[in-house]
Structure 1
Amino acid sequence: MKPTLALGTYRIAGEHLTDAARRAASSPAAWIDTAPNYCYGRAHRLLAPALAEYPALRVATKVGYMDSARARVAEAAGVIDSRDAIARHSIGAAYVRWQTEDNRAALGRDCLDMLFLHNPERTARPGELWAELRDAFTVLEEEADAGHIAAYGIATWTGFSEGAFSVSVLDRLAREAAGSDTHHLRAIQLPVSLVMAEAFDMALRGTGPIVQAGWQGWEVHASAPLHGGELKALATPELAELIQPGASIPAACITAVANCPGLSKVLMSTGDPKHWAEALTAVDEPVAASALRKTLDVLATVE
């Protein structure tokens, strides 16, 4: 099954965010991915009107990063310590519980569709990562049982590639947190692009975190498919032609990612209606696995 296009909000300017959310509401996925630190800490507040206007629009947000103002408030509340406040990042159990409640209130949703732990590999306590994850999962299982979140997941940038954890480790920690084989860890989010192509290449070979998450029945959300917009400058017309003859460079790059096996959603961060429409078309275009392998081989040679 092909993935659907979902709205990522990391790089959308505040003045465009609400309109972008309304466009996402009419797309097949009707899904928004955000975080409390996005848009200089204003993302939740700016998204709330669209979420109220479109109750069927689903939302994923995160716990982890915080801006300096939130760090001061959290430290004053006793849910983080000075180490976390300096790092402006925490997946500690107390902070996860506190920020989950704040996320629900700011977004105006009694139940969040997905809550990701945001780059847990960036913890200020790297030697305690797995213990921290287990404790955070315990809190999130409680939040799920209370009806505050429908599911939770891991949104990572380098956690899998650097070996900080694996799908099997995450599943084991979630089972330990839930006290049974049934838990609410249901998704991973990781970068998949023609630049950060390790997980992409592994999926084409039938291995790696994308495939392993599929074995667990989890969703896989691809972040940064245009590598923060840099691919538009890095890719060439010849490369685009190899992927999808006649397509623009951004559309071809989106099409390539959307044909990575095992993905559930491709997160596109844009406030431009034309770019959004082009991406909606691009995710539905088929590309043969042989063409994708050739594309990655070409890029590997260039690197």
Structure 2
Amino acid sequence: PPDHKQHLSLADLVTIAREVGGTTHHFRAVQLPVSLAMPEAARLPTQPLGRKLVSLLEAADALGLGVVASAPLMQGRLTEGLPEEVHALFPACTTDAQRALRFASSLPGVATVLAGMRQREHVAENLAAWQDA
């Protein structure tokens, strides 16, 4: 929430970047966790923008910042056991890992999704999430 001592306002950060680097500053993207289990960046109005509070994704878009979604699989916890309602949202996906990745990448304002994989099979499986996109 904006009143939390660790809250960061994207608008304030962009203002600081402009003060320090001028209009050619290099603050162009933010990285944050976004997943089915952590949708707060899309759902919660935590960012002051003008006279209202908006979601982080909405604020980033309005401020010209790309969003890099991290932890879309929550260290593997979202790779199995997702409810049928999620399956219905992503009918082209054949695994829960694919569904979790597609969820994160489908949110407006998300430029890219970071996902760590240790096995070649997981790389092939996860890349298949975008074959029909």
Q: Is the 8 A contact 2:79 2:95 kept in 1?
A: no
- TM-score, normalised on structure 1? 0.36
Shift in Å, 1:182: 2.8
**How far 1:176 moved relative to its partner?**
2.0
Does structure 1 conserve the Cα–Cα contact (< 8 Å) formed by 2:31 and 2:67? yes
**Which aligned runs of 4 or more in structure 1 are off by greater than 3 angstroms?**
283-286
Q: Which residue of 2 aligns with 1:253?
A: 100
Deviation at 1:213, TM superposition (A): 1.7
Relative distance call for 1:261 and 1:209 in structure 2 (3 A) is same
**Partner residue in 1 for 2:10:** 167
Bigger radius of gyration among the two: 1
RMSD, aligned α-carbons: 2.5
Q: Percent identity?
A: 33
Matched AA of 2:25: H
Alignment partners' CA distance in 2, 1:167 and 1:284: 33
In 1, Cα distance between the equivalents of 2:44 and 2:94?
25
**Residues 1:281 and 2:128 are matched in the alignment:** yes
**Contact map agreement 1:240 1:248 (CA 8 A) in 2:** no
Task: Give the letter aligned to residue 231 of structure 1.
Answer: L
Q: 1:241 aligns with which of 70, 87, 90?
A: 87
* Aligned partner letter, 1:171: V
After the TM superposition, which residues 124-163 of structure 1 pair with which residues of structure 2 at under 5 Å, given as runs?
Answer: none
Structure 1 or 2: more helix by fraction? 1
Q: 2:74 aligns with which of 227, 231, 237?
A: 227
Give CA-to-partner distance per residue, 1:252-296, whole Å, 9 cap, x none: 11111111111111001102122112222214555xxxxxxxxxx
Partner of 1:176: 19
User: Is residue 216 from structure 1 mapped to residue 63 from structure 2 by the alignment?
Assistant: yes
Partners in 2 of 1:247 and 1:240 — Cα distance?
A: 12
Q: TM-score, normalised by structure 2?
A: 0.77
Count residues in correspondence: 122
Contact 1:225–1:254 at 8 Å: present in 2 too? yes
Unaligned residue ranges in structure 2 (runs of 5+): 46-53
Alignment of 1:18-97 (within 5 A): none
- C-alpha separation in 1, matches of 2:81 and 2:19: 44
Does 1 or 2 have the higher relative contact order (CA < 8 Å, sep 6+)?
Answer: 2
More strand per residue = 2
2:110 equivalent to 1:263: yes
| CA-CA distance at 1:185 after TM superposition | 0.8
The aligned residue for residue 186 of structure 1 is 28
Counterpart Cα distance in 2 of 1:265 and 1:172: 24
Q: How far, CA to CA, are the matches of 2:80 and 2:97 in structure 1?
A: 9
